[in-house]
Amino acid sequence: MKKLYQYTMILLAGVLGACSSMSVSDPYSDSFPADFDVNVYMALHPELRILQVKDYVSNQNAATEAAWAQQGLDAATLKANDEAAFKTNTTALASIYANPYLGGYNAAGWETDQADSTVLADLLAFNFIGTTEDLTELQNIPVNEFLISQQYIMFGQSHGWAYRLCTDAEAADLVNHPDRKTLKIDSLQRASATAEKAADAMKFVADTNLYCRDAAGADRVIQ
């Protein structure tokens, strides 16, 4: 499951990167559902914001390291010292860990996971080198709503991602609004993803339905 999550995150990073080259007047902008709300979509898929934040921090850190080097400072040592200090700030780490748009972990797992080197390595991606106010800096990162909304047009829509919450009527009507996992398109796309990772040739089949998410977390057909 962890490998699948990592694969998905890498794939989404590529999609978001492609989105950044698109203009605001791109013709795809006419393809949004009438009730599409980028903030709702982001809340349903926080991994998009997580990728955006990690990319922002990485770019800022690269600029800081370059500035240190230009000043004749030992950038490698300064970075190592900063990261060591970051790892000891358990209050900030716990907040980052449990924030759905940062670490994205369940808060209840912090007591156990704070000793997990893999988790700490993941949280390190949220460390701004050159400052001790990491949490404040992270909270001040602007949301690029354009990139997130274009991800839906370029990837999410064709892959059957839910874009809004289900209404009570939709959630109560499993006949007319079935769970996506029961549909043939779901199995077809899963097979396509498996074939792609195995470097096998298999044509991708786009999902033409729209989906909402119910209270239980199931993605249901809207139309």
- pLDDT attached to residue 30: 57
- pLDDT attached to residue 190: 87
154 pLDDT more than 80:
yes
Report pTM. 0.83
Asked if 162 and 78 sit in the same domain, the reply is no
What six digits make up the tokens of 4?
């699948």
5 belongs to a structural domain: no
28 belongs to a structural domain: no
9 pLDDT more than 50:
no
The percent of residues in the chain predicted with pLDDT above 70, rounded, is: 83
Pairing of β 164-165 and β 219-221: unpaired
Asked if 72 and 101 sit in the same domain, the reply is yes
pLDDT tens track for 160-199: 999 999 999 999 999 999 999 999 999 989 887 776 665 6
Helix (H, G, I), strand (E, B) or coil at 91: helix
The percent of residues in the chain predicted with pLDDT above 90, rounded, is: 77
Q: How many residues does the chain have?
A: 223
28 pLDDT more than 60:
no
Domain that holds residue 174: 157-221
210 belongs to a structural domain: yes
Q: What is the mean pLDDT of residues 105-124?
A: 94
Q: What is the mean pLDDT of residues 44-69?
A: 97
14 pLDDT more than 70:
no
Q: What is the mean pLDDT of residues 15-20?
A: 50
Distance separating alpha carbons of residues 147 and 152, to the nearest angstrom: 9
Distance separating alpha carbons of residues 169 and 117, to the nearest angstrom: 45
Burial category of 128 from C-beta neighbours within 10 Å (exposed 0-12, middle 13-18, buried 19 and up) = buried
- pLDDT attached to residue 191: 83
17 belongs to a structural domain: no
In the chain, the number of structural domains is 2
What six digits make up the tokens of 145?
């709503």
Element (H, E) at 212: strand 211-213
What residue has token string 């990485």?
58
| Average pLDDT of the chain to the nearest whole number | 87
pLDDT tens track for 35-44: 999 999 999 9
Higher pLDDT, 124 or 201: 124
166 belongs to a structural domain: yes
Q: From 139, 171, 195, give the residue that closes a domain.
A: 139
Asked if 114 and 205 sit in the same domain, the reply is no
- pLDDT attached to residue 12: 54
6 belongs to a structural domain: no
Asked if 60 and 127 sit in the same domain, the reply is yes
